Structure 1
Amino acid sequence: MEKEAAKQTTLNPEEIVKKTSIADVYRAAKQLDGITRHTRLIYSEYFSQISHNEIYIKPENLQKTGSFKLRGAYNCISQLSHNEKARGVIAASAGNHAQGVAYAAQKLKLKAVIVMPATTPILKVEATRAYGAEVVLYGDNYDDACAKAYELEKKHGYVFIHPFNNLEVLLGQGTTALEIIDNLKDVDIILVPIGGGGFASGTALAAKLVNPTIKVIGVEPEGAACMKASLQAGKIVTLPSVDTVAEGTAVKTPGELTFAFIKKYVDEIITVSELEIMSALLSLIEKHKLIAEGAGVLSLAALQRLSCKNKKIAAIVSGGNIDISTISALIDKALVARGRVFCFSVKLPDKPGQLLAISQILSDLNANVIHLDHNQAKVTDSFEKVLLEVTVETHNSNHISQITETLKKYGFQISKVY
């Protein structure tokens, strides 16, 4: 295996793509047998209705370690030579790859060191440590952590396990497509999120080699669309910065290997907005009672951007490792964006009955008050007025317009806060 590994590293990405067969994906599936869960598809009536297609959720958020990343990490680490295993492994990750590597190392009884950005949510840090890995917190983003991991690799002789730009990793991720096809043999489209491209590479490779008529669509956040930019440029592009709630896909530079696989096998890449991501997250929670992270719902966020109708679509929910404070903030933003929460301020004469009048109007319009701030000190241009700030639960944007117009009708000039 050591000779074969050395041979592979001398090949350029295009040659590796040509030499990789479906047999390689089935080999990975055999390697993962008994290690990963076969997450079965869930038909979604809600997402089917809004997209006018048949939508089946592939819930990799229910995978061991909470994401698909375990597939690639275990497949790669399990095939290291005896000498490589003895050296221990190292990885850089904001969370999901970290847990996959740590879990795999624990199962195979190897030393694992994970370098994570100092900004990584504590839930992911503690989960990684719980699998027995040594965690090093360094830098503000993945690129900083990765540079540190390479430094430690050279210093201590560890084997570096790349989160996406590694053939055995992407082959492991490709087993997800085999399960989808086994569960839904006439699937027309598979939607898969893209960060560095490993998941999309493996998924597209497996899907196309089993059934070339299956369309594979990658999904990136608008604030971190490095693969789409690279495909449009015809070469690897490094984004100047990334900014997205889908932190698991916040990658500036795609891998050379994944770029080659995606160029050959992925049919299209769709980008989605932050609002679409947060809205998809809220819908998944409300309609399916499933928790996912921002990156995990990219495929669902892309559904309404599809032009096709009446197709059978598998949308992969890639991960669910998210801490309570983050999910709370995302839900709050999604509620505001959907017109389910409305906050406004209004200056009122400082005399009895004004607050009651506002309250009565809101009550008559079935707007539930969830927060109220009545503050005289905030008004600096008049000693005879107070500032009232009200937050209400609303039905939708039309309901907000109705509230605004009714208050205006009764002489209240309001300002929207959010």
Structure 2
Amino acid sequence: MNNDSVWDPDKRQKMPKIEDILKARDLLSETIRKTPLQSTRTFSGLAGTNLFMKLECLQVTGSFKVRGAFAKVSRLSDKQAGYGVIAASAGNHAQGVAYAAAIKKIPCTIVMPQNASPAKVAATRSYGAQVVRRGANYDEAWEATQEIARTEGRTIIHAFDDPDIIAGQGTIGLEILEDLQDVDRIYLPVGGGGLAAGVAIAVKSKKPNVKIIGVESKAFPAMKESVAKGSLQSTKRGYSIADGIAVKQPGKLTYEIVSKYVDDIVLVDDVSIVKTMFLLMERAKLVVEPAGAASLAYLISNGGHAGGRKDKVVTVLSGGNVDMYLLGQVVAKGLMQMGRMLKIFILLPDKPGALKGVVDSIAELSINIVEVEHDRLSSHIPAGTAGVYLSLEMEDEKHAQRLVEFLKQKEIEFKVVS
């Protein structure tokens, strides 16, 4: 039995130092990409500052998580490697651990909840890991992970609360300083806290005046509340599209580091995240997952209030693994939020040519009709009439307002649905 496989949440773990992050960089040098730090005029304007994007969405496996996973797996003893590794995850950590284990030729098991995305399950298996489906949620999958680890002697690779994981994530901080020595502030997403902890140690050790700001989901402000109250807090206030940072409780070690090194923790909502994901696709041609877009979303939604325009600010786009169905929803909702898609309901006489007249009128404004849906059977539709839902694409909110005024002038009975 591998005694190191048992996960002890009460075990006092040593806080990693800059030397540990430098060693992790050496371990990762031949396997992990140094991702670009890209300046952006478009998002600088939206955020009201001099903005640079750290593109971890272009990392191997599509996320920063592989850095910590590879650093941890690389430091296993021969005995631990022989027993293999195990992790609980429904997303990026799973793929990071599976990839690292494949490179090191170490047996790997990933425990995922029963409702895990089929795409993420397939991606994890593609790296050679054995995927075990257990439990209805992450907590139940985590319990199963500990049971399997005890039975098979596998080493648990925790998603964030581990010194080697934190050191691996900290290599991002080193890369930022290499590419932008005079950076003023760094914004990054916070879930369990591994990324924030690692980057904060790396940056503060070399340039203590650089501000580190964590960004959490408003629905899961666990780290912010923990820091504010001076002890670990657990929270679950609802649903967030940003499942990568929807963490009920941060780690003990990450909490200690964040409390010491991170200057502030701010909150962002899902509406801002969706808008930002849409803008990244349209303006920067980047596919970024919800958690990965969180820090940029905060900067955009708080443009002009996040610091001076001359400040050099880095936002870490931490991952790019998005379910394709969700991506379609983001595009549709993004268009609506930007005032470029409008859904209206029109009540028309149920006669030939009635709809054509409306369509011809709308076409005069150069508006694209995306979808048409008829409704004759609902109780609120009077006999002899037909309800029609029109989904319309336009240039901007002013274009939408011209449509509304135009329909009123034509005395067409309508209401805006969304």
What TM-score do the two structures reach when normalised by structure 1?
0.93
Q: How do residues 338-353 of structure 1 correspond to structure 2 at under 5 angstroms?
A: 338-353=338-353
Partner of 1:167 in structure 2? 163
Contact 2:5–2:155, Cα closer than 8 Å, also in 1? no
Residue by residue over 1:348-397, the C-alpha shift from the partner in whole angstroms, topping out at 9 and shown as x without a partner, is: 12234432332233222222111112333336552121111111002233
1:241 is displaced (CA, Å) by 4.6
1:188 is displaced (CA, Å) by 0.8
1:87 is displaced (CA, Å) by 1.2
Instruction: Tell me, in whole angstroms, the C-alpha distance in 2 between the residues paired with 1:4 and 1:212.
Output: 35
What one-letter code is carried by the residue in structure 2 that aligns with 1:113?
Answer: T
What one-letter code is carried by the residue in structure 2 that aligns with 1:413?
Answer: E
What one-letter code is carried by the residue in structure 2 that aligns with 1:191?
Answer: Y
Of 251, 259, 270, 2:247 maps to 251
Residue by residue over 1:46-75, the C-alpha shift from the partner in whole angstroms, topping out at 9 and shown as x without a partner, is: 101111211111111111111111110011
Q: 1:10 to 1:346 in 2, by over 3 A?
A: closer
- Choose 69-78 or 233-242, whichever is displaced more: 233-242
Per the alignment, in what secondary structure is the counterpart of residue 263 of structure 1? helix
Q: 1:380 to 1:326 in 2, by over 3 A?
A: closer
Q: How do residues 209-248 of structure 1 correspond to structure 2 at under 5 angstroms?
A: 209-248=205-244
Contact 1:69–1:96, Cα closer than 8 Å, also in 2? yes
Instruction: Tell me, in whole angstroms, the C-alpha distance in 1 between the residues paired with 2:93 and 2:351.
Output: 60
Q: 1:37 to 1:404 in 2, by over 3 A?
A: same
Instruction: Tell me, in whole angstroms, the C-alpha distance in 2 between the residues paired with 1:345 and 1:354.
Output: 14
What one-letter code is carried by the residue in structure 2 that aligns with 1:283?
Answer: L
Instruction: Tell me, in whole angstroms, the C-alpha distance in 1 between the residues paired with 2:323 and 2:382.
Output: 44
1:242 is displaced (CA, Å) by 4.2
Instruction: Tell me, in whole angstroms, the C-alpha distance in 1 between the residues paired with 2:143 and 2:10.
Output: 23
Instruction: Tell me, in whole angstroms, the C-alpha distance in 2 between the residues paired with 1:381 and 1:331.
Output: 31
Partner of 1:359 in structure 2? 359
Q: Percent identity?
A: 37
Instruction: Tell me, in whole angstroms, the C-alpha distance in 2 between the residues paired with 1:67 and 1:276.
Output: 21
Partner of 1:194 in structure 2? 190
Instruction: Tell me, in whole angstroms, the C-alpha distance in 2 between the residues paired with 1:417 and 1:3.
Output: 60
Q: 1:3 to 1:213 in 2, by over 3 A?
A: farther
Contact 1:379–1:386, Cα closer than 8 Å, also in 2? no
Q: 1:10 to 1:273 in 2, by over 3 A?
A: closer
Q: 1:363 to 1:240 in 2, by over 3 A?
A: same
1:42 is displaced (CA, Å) by 1.1
Q: 1:416 to 1:27 in 2, by over 3 A?
A: same
Partner of 1:386 in structure 2? 386
Of 89, 101, 111, 1:105 maps to 101
1:232 is displaced (CA, Å) by 2.3
What one-letter code is carried by the residue in structure 2 that aligns with 1:355?
Answer: L
Partner of 1:395 in structure 2? 395
Q: How do residues 13-412 of structure 1 correspond to structure 2 at under 5 angstroms?
A: 16-17=14-15, 20-304=16-300, 305=302, 306-309=305-308, 310-378=310-378, 381-412=381-412
1:112 is displaced (CA, Å) by 0.6
What TM-score do the two structures reach when normalised by structure 2?
0.93
Q: 1:381 to 1:323 in 2, by over 3 A?
A: closer
1:416 is displaced (CA, Å) by 2.1
1:5 is displaced (CA, Å) by 12
- Choose 400-409 or 194-203, whichever is displaced more: 400-409
1:4 is displaced (CA, Å) by 12
Per the alignment, in what secondary structure is the counterpart of residue 35 of structure 2? coil
Per the alignment, in what secondary structure is the counterpart of residue 247 of structure 2? coil
Which 5+ residue runs of structure 2 have no aligned equivalent? none
Contact 2:5–2:150, Cα closer than 8 Å, also in 1? no
> Could you list the runs of 4 or more consecutive aligned residues of structure 1 that deviate by over 6 angstroms after TM superposition?
2-6, 8-11
Contact 1:379–1:387, Cα closer than 8 Å, also in 2? no
Instruction: Tell me, in whole angstroms, the C-alpha distance in 2 between the residues paired with 1:139 and 1:289.
Output: 37
Q: 1:176 to 1:242 in 2, by over 3 A?
A: farther
Per the alignment, in what secondary structure is the counterpart of residue 196 of structure 1? coil
Instruction: Tell me, in whole angstroms, the C-alpha distance in 2 between the residues paired with 1:350 and 1:4.
Output: 74
Contact 2:381–2:387, Cα closer than 8 Å, also in 1? no
Per the alignment, in what secondary structure is the counterpart of residue 224 of structure 1? coil
Per the alignment, in what secondary structure is the counterpart of residue 219 of structure 2? helix
Contact 2:5–2:149, Cα closer than 8 Å, also in 1? no
Residue by residue over 1:394-416, the C-alpha shift from the partner in whole angstroms, topping out at 9 and shown as x without a partner, is: 22333323322321232223222
Contact 1:53–1:312, Cα closer than 8 Å, also in 2? yes
Instruction: Tell me, in whole angstroms, the C-alpha distance in 2 between the residues paired with 1:380 and 1:320.
Output: 44
Which 5+ residue runs of structure 1 have no aligned equivalent? none
1:256 is displaced (CA, Å) by 0.8
1:325 is displaced (CA, Å) by 1.5
Tell me how large the CA RMSD over aligned residues is.
Answer: 2.2
Instruction: Tell me, in whole angstroms, the C-alpha distance in 1 between the residues paired with 2:107 and 2:329.
Output: 36
Per the alignment, in what secondary structure is the counterpart of residue 223 of structure 1? coil
Instruction: Tell me, in whole angstroms, the C-alpha distance in 1 between the residues paired with 2:385 and 2:106.
Output: 69
Residue by residue over 1:125-157, the C-alpha shift from the partner in whole angstroms, topping out at 9 and shown as x without a partner, is: 111111111001223332222121112111221
Contact 1:241–1:252, Cα closer than 8 Å, also in 2? no
Instruction: Tell me, in whole angstroms, the C-alpha distance in 1 between the residues paired with 2:160 and 2:61.
Output: 17
